[in-house]
Amino acid sequence: MIRIREIDHLVLRVVDLEKMLQFYCDVLGCSVERRQDEIGLVQLRAGSSLIDLVPVDGQLGRAGGKAPGIQGRNLDHFCLRVEPFDAAAISAHLRAHGAAPGAVAQRYGAEGEGPSIYVTDPEGNTVELKGPPHTHADSR
């Protein structure tokens, strides 16, 4: 059984990064938490969650298909924070239900860097299942 704690983050594919930053920061009150311009990713703090903006002309954005619009989608994926996070048990659970989990990888989320698994739902939506962040004690 997978126990979802909350939404960790969602990822929006954007055409005009500056307009989106202005809207989410100036209008809605988010703040820029982290930028990775080399791959095309800006992460905004939205309370205890993150909203990731991925320009469609950047490295990550080009991998996502057409730009947002009638024929394209702008939601790349959403992420659910899972607790407890047992990668082997989660992967086995997904496989037992006919889903094909991706490899476990370390990714940055609302609470920091930690393990996650991608899976695709029956309609083709990508869902990231995210574990807890690493602590300083983890690196000892």
Tens-place pLDDT, residues 38-78: 999 999 999 899 999 999 999 988 887 777 776 777 888 99
Q: Where are the alpha helices (DSSP H) in the chain?
A: 17-21, 59-62, 87-96
* pLDDT band at residue 28 using 50, 70 and 90 as cut-offs: confident
Of 140 and 80, the structure prediction assigns the larger pLDDT to: 80
In the chain, beta strands by DSSP E: 4-14, 31-36, 41-46, 49-55, 75-82, 105-109, 112-120, 126-130
Q: Global pTM?
A: 0.74
